[in-house]
Amino acid sequence: MHTIKTIGVIGTGLMGAPMARRLAEAGHRVRAWNRTPDKAAALRAQGIESAHSANDAATDADIVVVMLSSGPVCDAILLGDDGVIAHMAPGAVLVVMSSIPVDTARGQAQAAAAAGIGYLDAPVSGGEKGAIDGTLAIMIGGEDATYAQARPLFTPLGRAVHVGPAGSGQLAKLANQTIVANTIATVAEALLLAERGGADPGKVRDALMGGFADSTILKVHGERMLNDDFCPGGPAKWQCKDTQTAQALADDLALEMPVSRLVNGLFEDLVAHGDGDLDHSALIRELRRRNGERPS
């Protein structure tokens, strides 16, 4: 088992902050940076050091964890002569846990390898609650030896599965997000059908649980839809980013995914109507708009 001495965490937002806390609670030395300094400084009470820059967080760290908002943002911080990779110690491991395009992950892996740095793309599913509870599903792409080196990192964060070479983690995450997005749309339609038909949608949801239509989406997001509780655990704008990425990849592969294309359009409209900062379960608001209702 490899020993991890210092972990640099770059990005301490909705997901990064609770993940950094769990790593510190597990006994790792954690040094964190966020572009909004107050977010990183708020973690000092948990024994997490504040770094002055992303490069400072990465210097001399055994592992650098990146949890930023998009592929372009990751590339801007990681790549180049003065990027994070250039400041990492040879033999260290870069773990990008952001959801980014597959080709972006593969490009970062090549840049890391050229610098003598290990690379894993390790996107997660489970939202803020999963990050807080340490129950994230972690999908990992990269070399076997690099995964073995970084494996202790993942234990406090959730359940890690090594799915293949660099980029495979992002492919798994796109598959995950496709299922999540399409199921959110289906659950929203089903609840609206019950409501418009004159049934109590809450009781219909109760009746469905335990049968073949049951799912985490029906349990968790179905309840959110019924209660109009859209405080973001996973913001709709991030879901939209992922559905767009999945659709772009499908187009590149000449793969027709008609259901996913339609759902991507629904999320794009939801964001365009100003609901991008709401939870992705707020997709029901877009369906209400399409049916002539004014969302509450």
Query: How far is it, in rounded angstroms, from Cα 57 to Cα 6?
Result: 10
**Does 1 have pLDDT greater than 80?**
no
Q: In 10 A of CB 110, how many CB atoms?
A: 12
Give pLDDT, residue 250.
Answer: 96
Homologous superfamily of domain range 172-290: N-(1-d-carboxylethyl)-l-norvaline Dehydrogenase; domain 2 (1.10.1040.10)
**Does 291 have pLDDT greater than 70?**
yes
Q: Give me the mean pLDDT over the 10-17 stretch.
A: 95
Is 219 one of the catalytic residues? no
CATH number (1.10.1240.10, 3.40.50.300, 3.40.50.720, 2.60.130.10) of 6-165 reads 3.40.50.720
Give pLDDT, residue 210.
Answer: 97
**Does 225 have pLDDT greater than 90?**
yes
Mean pLDDT of the chain: 96
Confidence of residue 290 (pLDDT cuts 50, 70, 90): very high
Q: Of 173, 219, 237, 241, which one is the catalytic site residue?
A: 173
Q: Please name the helix (run of DSSP H) or strand (run of DSSP E) that holds residue 6, with its range, or none.
A: strand 6-10
Render pLDDT for 109-151 as a digit per residue (tens, 0 to 9): 999 999 999 999 999 998 899 999 999 999 999 999 999 999 9
By percentage, how much of the chain surpasses pLDDT 70? 99
Q: Is the pTM of this model over 0.85?
A: yes
Confidence of residue 3 (pLDDT cuts 50, 70, 90): low
Structure tokens at 19: 């993940």
- Hey, where are the domains in the chain? 6-165, 172-290
Give pLDDT, residue 4.
Answer: 75
Render pLDDT for 150-171 as a digit per residue (tens, 0 to 9): 999 999 999 999 999 999 999 9
Query: How far is it, in rounded angstroms, from Cα 41 to Cα 43?
Result: 5
Closest to 102 (Cα-Cα) out of 263, 248, 238:
248
Structure tokens at 9: 């965490």
Give pLDDT, residue 5.
Answer: 86
**Does 233 have pLDDT greater than 90?**
no
Q: Give me the mean pLDDT over the 234-249 stretch.
A: 94
Kindly provide the residue ranges of all beta strands, DSSP E only, lying in 26-167, ordered along the sequence: 29-33, 49-50, 63-66, 93-96, 118-121, 124-125, 136-142, 158-164
Query: How far is it, in rounded angstroms, from Cα 42 to Cα 40?
Result: 5
